Amino acid sequence: MSVSREVVERLAEMTRIGLAHAEAEALGRDIEAILAHVSALQEIDTAAVEGAPGAGSDAPLREDVVAASLPVADVLANAPQQADGFFVVPAVFGE
Amino acid sequence: MTGGSQGAGYRPVIGLEVHAQLLTHSKMFCGCDARYSGARPNSHVCPVCLGLPGALPVINRAALEQTLMVATALNCRVPETSRFDRKNYPYPDIPKGYQISQYAAPLGRAGHLDIFHADGPDRVGIIRVHLEEDTGKTMHSVLDGRPVSLVDYNRSGVPLLEIVSEPCIHSPDAARRYFAGLREVLVYLGVNSGDMEEGVLRADVNVSLSRGAHPGAKVEIKNLNSFRAVTRALEFEIDRQAALLEAGGQVAQETRGWDEGQEETVSQRSKEYAEDYRYFPEPDLPALTVSPERVEEIRRTLPELPAARRARYVDSAGLSPYEAEVITQDPALASLFDETLSLQPPGGSKAVANWIMGELLRLLHEAAVPLEASNISPRGLSGLLRLLGDGTITNAQAKIVFARMFETGAEADEIVRREGLAQIADTDELAATVRRVLAENEALVRDYVEKGGKTEGPLIGKVMAATGGRANAALVRELIRSLLSPEATAQ
Amino acid sequence: MTEGILHRSFLDLHELMARREISSVDVTRATLERVQRLDPDVGAYLLVTEEQALAQAVEADRAYAEDRANALTGIPFALKDIISTLGIRTTCGSRILENYVPVYQGQVAGRLLESGAVLIGKTNMDEFAMGSSTEHSGFFPTRNPWDRDRVPGGSSGGSAAAVSAGMAAFALGTDTGGSIRQPASLCGVVGLKPTYGRVSRYGLVAFASSLDQIGPIARSVPEVAAVLGVIAGHDPHDSTTLRAEVPDYRAGLTGEVRGLRIGVPKEYFPDTLESGVAAAVSQGLASLESLGAHLVDISLPMTDAALSCYYIVAPSEAMSNLARYDGVRYGLREQAADVWTLFDRTRERGFGAEVKRRILVGAYALSKGYYEAYYVKALEVRALVQRDFEAAFQQVDVIAGPTSPTTAFRLGERLDDPLSMYLADAFTLPANMAGICGVSVPCGLAGGLPVGLQILGPKLGEQTILRVADAYERSAGFNVLVPPLTFGAPA
């Protein structure tokens, strides 16, 4: 189980976490150790398990009735930047 | 020209992923009003659809029911257990950083849709039908001289159906027909408004060019929201790929966008892992259980779909395929047809079809309103046809009466009575008028007599004009003939 | 009023308030003074809500005067800062939410405030509940009131320390892998992790949604039972809550354990278990036996596997749950010219090392090519962990053993070794994997530090485990362990 700096950087980009090189290397070592530990799972025979357990079955359903939304002021109360009722972010370029 | 690519031995292989907003009152996982069109930005938002820390989703029953209707109508298998998954990808208009969608266990699988076509029905395989939540909207703007994106979460969490076809479509036109056919089904089921301009129906298309047994690289074009865009984007892309291949190049497997203005597809550079959505079962929602009995009940209560309706109109109502198609293009129109027909004596289908396709569509078009907004009811149209059938009114009068009905919603016989439009079928009254017209039109009479009665048309027209169109044309003709007969003139 | 009263059961305080012998304002003021005096040395609180607390106390006294008080009315309590409180900053121990103020009320906070309990403040925790020592707080570590060079455990270390030091009568924590029971053990207080779904998570900032559960921490079992009765129950906002009736947990505390079968799993007594812990726990088990319970040797073979499984499942869910902290809608934002750099910088600066570690592990386990081997495998093993317990509960009524393999460790001791930190949860996290309930009750001291006895029960077995814990607590003779506070300004 080798987790190279490149792999860490790829994971970091996927999850949008900026990482300094040094940090990526340290994290790579930690992740490698964790993965080595959890690799014990591969030894366990799970052939008898049918269907992975989820959050149970028979999800409750909500009736299709409109309920009050938040006041716009509350929606934007924690916004780092806003204008005319919109959340504002620097331009979404490409990707 | 797409013909060129096919000539070179390439065969387009096309699949569509259609996204349709469901017509629920509230959003997919919260009680916010799902009808956000025209609303103030971020005014239809709550902790759930804003993705506030700690908020949790609860499934909207109506969204589930509507999805089951679509899955059933598209002949899908509905498994007893399905569930939601998280599709993880960062984007400013995805408030949780993931979209609740369905991946491994969708609500519908392995169905098909038959598309009406001049050469017989085309069957398009449906891989899956699943339910998810729509994203917010990002708009580009400039603030203090800097390019910014403005984010509105009103659309976030609106229930969205995704219908994925098999890659079994082989021309842009067939793709358009499938998209239109799907739209029709959704509108018929009452689960989507079909209003493409509002963006309630969008398609992602994927297309590759295969040659013989060799499949080509698949290119996906995202977010096409009109039939024209689907056709044009596919035409452009097929030509582009064919030209690339013919020049000895290779088609890159990628996602492209459609530039409406330039009418071309544009590469959207993305890293390979940008599409690694890291799906896993949504832990905040238990699995959905849908019993086979429930599915059967939905199947039983489905409204008649356009394809079946069309077949019925052709086979039992005796309409032409063209008439059947025109009338079924709008479920309201087809219902009007069916209900009017049920109030008519047998054999009246052609007349009903003619009125709907002729006068009604013309008036609707002129007024630019949907049928629902007009005053025409099955009872009204049926009443008009009865007056026409028993000779109370002429065809010309009927058109006037129909226009009044359209405007006011009054019954045909009431309009006829009120406006004195009943046809003059009294021989004495009409004979007097004919005599007067003949006396006033000596030249025409002379012409009629000289040509041995072959020019009665102009005289009939004069009589009709004199009676304001209320005269029974057959009776007028008879009166002219008898009054101008050699025996009569000899006297 | 002397501060001594602050170590009495709040059920007694309630009686005194009902008899008007003391007032909630007195108790609240005394508590706030104690916090002011001790907390600079403990660091249990991230925020003290003094003004609101006094206002609530006044309201509580009015409720007593008007005879509409219940057992929690007027009682000072604390909430782990992962539980959303309307209008009160909720940081989750993270810089990324340093200034986040919820605009909606979380379900349990609402229930407690409606019952008239008085919120003293929000307690410190490992960032996003990821940790077992509270050293991973984004702000400062909390110290163990028994020895300030040692950790209080975690992640609900602030809640456990506050209760232990008499800075709150009770507190709520959250338990994802032991985060209530382990700090309760290390601080010498009682902590209960309810059955998954027993208490609503609506408003609980998610770490690992399929494992997280809110539960009470107090100085005695009857107090824990009283709080559970208020916070437990179905919530339509949380689709994973159970519909089962909420019993009167206090009424079930009969002190009777005769004939009860207590399973003692050999896996919970490994060679590496600290000898002092082993001795205290064995003594605890012996006293239960002397009360008439039967000790049964059992095996939970999946205990080790549960740990590995946990470190796949929890980070995977966390990766997704924490994706929403992107600086767009709330929380920290680092400036950047484009939104992607903004995301990267905000999350780089806002998250601590442990959070980043787990997010990356989660992304790894769910990414293409690894999903089956890691995530799916972990879910399968999770099913086996559940079966382990199901099989055990066929044989025994409850399972008992140590809560933590060690007493409180020194600050910094395990910080650089994530794996050794993870081992602190080896005996607690299997219950989370299986969704069952568990309670930690003090069972003496080892080297002057508290040891906890853990009692696990089947799903919805809260009444039984509380009965056992209560019977033990009564027989042990130390109803409350009071830390020998050797710090703080004089009272």
Query: pLDDT per residue over C187-237, tens digit each?
Result: 999 999 999 999 999 999 999 999 999 999 999 999 999 999 999 999 999
Instruction: Determine whether C179 is an active site residue.
Output: yes
Within-domain flag for B298: no
Domain count along chain B? 3
State the average pLDDT over residues A58-71. Answer: 95
Considering only the beta carbons, identify the residue of B60, B147, B283 that sits closest to A55.
B283
Residue A94 sits at the chain B interface (C-beta within 8 Å): yes
Within-domain flag for B48: yes
CA of A51, closest CA in chain C: separation in Å? 8
Within-domain flag for C290: no
Answer yes or no: do C328 and A87 touch at CB < 8 A. Answer: yes
Greater pLDDT, A94 or C242 = C242
Cα(C82)–Cα(C93) distance, integer angstroms: 8
The span from the first CA to the last CA of chain B, in angstroms, equals: 77
Residue C478 sits at the chain B interface (C-beta within 8 Å): no
What's the CATH number where B460 sits? 1.10.10
Distance of CA C47 to the CA centre of its chain: 18
Work out the pLDDT band at C242, boundaries 50, 70, 90: very high
Within-domain flag for A35: yes
Q: Which of A3, A15, A65 to mutate to test the interface with C (most CBs of C within 10 A)?
A: A15
Within-domain flag for B219: yes
Within-domain flag for A93: no
Cα(A7)–Cα(A13) distance, integer angstroms: 10
Answer yes or no: do B281 and A55 touch at CB < 8 A. Answer: yes
Within-domain flag for B297: no
Strand order in the sheet with A82-83: A82-83, A86-90, B146-152, B137-143
Of C66, C79, C84, C75, the C-alpha closest to C116 is C75
User: Residue B478 carries which DSSP code?
Assistant: H
- Judged by average pLDDT, the poorest of B10-14, C174-178, C222-226 is B10-14
Average pLDDT, whole number, for chain B?
85
CA of B360, closest CA in chain A: separation in Å? 36
CA of C419, closest CA in chain B: separation in Å? 25
Within-domain flag for A30: yes
- Any chains having at least 3 CB pairs less than 8 A from chain C are A, B
Tell me the one-letter amino acid at B114: D
Question: Among residues B361, B393, B418, which one ends one of the domains?
Answer: B418
- Judged by average pLDDT, the poorest of B449-463, C99-113, C267-281, C362-376 is B449-463
Half-sphere exposure of C361 (CA within 13 A, CB side): 29
Considering only the beta carbons, identify the residue of A16, A55, A83 that sits closest to B285.
A55
Catalytically annotated residue among C179, C185, C404, C440: C179
Q: Is B84 in the same domain as B208?
A: yes
Q: Given a cut of 90, is residue B367 above it in pLDDT?
A: no
Within-domain flag for B295: no
- Any chains having at least 3 CB pairs less than 8 A from chain B are A, C
Domain count along chain C? 1
- Residue B255, SS3? strand
Answer yes or no: do A59 and B288 touch at CB < 8 A. Answer: yes
Q: Is B273 in the same domain as B342?
A: no
Instruction: Determine whether C132 is an active site residue.
Output: no
Q: Given a cut of 50, is residue A65 above it in pLDDT?
A: yes
Q: Is B353 in the same domain as B449?
A: no
Within-domain flag for A19: yes
Q: Is B407 in the same domain as B435?
A: no
CA angle, residues C360, C362, C366, in degrees to nearest 5: 120
Instruction: Determine whether C308 is an active site residue.
Output: no
Within-domain flag for A95: no
The boundaries of the domain holding residue C22 are 3-256+439-476
Contacts of B140 (CB under 8 A, 6+ apart): A91, A92, B147, B148, B149, B150
Residue C306 near residue C389 (C-beta atoms within 8 A): no
Catalytically annotated residue among C115, C133, C137, C155: C155
Answer yes or no: do C103 and A78 touch at CB < 8 A. Answer: yes
Greater pLDDT, B127 or B464 = B127
Of A11, A12, A3, the C-alpha closest to A36 is A3
Q: Is B447 in the same domain as B412?
A: no
Q: Given a cut of 80, is residue A6 above it in pLDDT?
A: yes
Q: Is B218 in the same domain as B366?
A: no
Within-domain flag for B296: no
Within-domain flag for C419: no
> B86 contacts in C (CB within 8 Å)?
320
Task: Choose the most confident range, by mean pLDDT, from A12-21, B358-367, C295-304.
Answer: C295-304
Share of chain C above pLDDT 90, in %: 91
The boundaries of the domain holding residue A30 are 5-43
Residue C206: the pLDDT is 98
Within-domain flag for B377: yes
Q: Given a cut of 90, is residue C39 above it in pLDDT?
A: yes
- Judged by average pLDDT, the poorest of A53-62, C58-67, C375-384, C388-397 is A53-62
Q: Is B145 in the same domain as B266?
A: yes
Tell me the one-letter amino acid at C106: G
Answer yes or no: do C337 and A92 touch at CB < 8 A. Answer: no
CA of C216, closest CA in chain B: separation in Å? 18
Within-domain flag for C380: no
Q: CA dihedral in degrees (B224, B227, B229, B230; nearest 10)?
A: 70
Q: Which of C238, C343, C356, C386 to mutate to test the interface with A (most CBs of A within 10 A)?
A: C356
The boundaries of the domain holding residue B403 are 304-418
> For residue B404, what are its two tokens?
């009044």
Answer yes or no: do B150 and A84 touch at CB < 8 A. Answer: yes
Q: Given a cut of 50, is residue B1 above it in pLDDT?
A: no
Residue C330 sits at the chain B interface (C-beta within 8 Å): yes
Cα(C158)–Cα(C80) distance, integer angstroms: 7
Within-domain flag for B444: yes
> A94 contacts in B (CB within 8 Å)?
268-269
CA of A32, closest CA in chain C: separation in Å? 9
What's the CATH number where C19 sits? 3.90.1300.10
Q: Is B221 in the same domain as B326?
A: no
Question: Among residues B354, B383, B418, which one ends one of the domains?
Answer: B418
Domain count along chain A? 1
Considering only the beta carbons, identify the residue of C204, C319, C368 that sits closest to B276.
C368
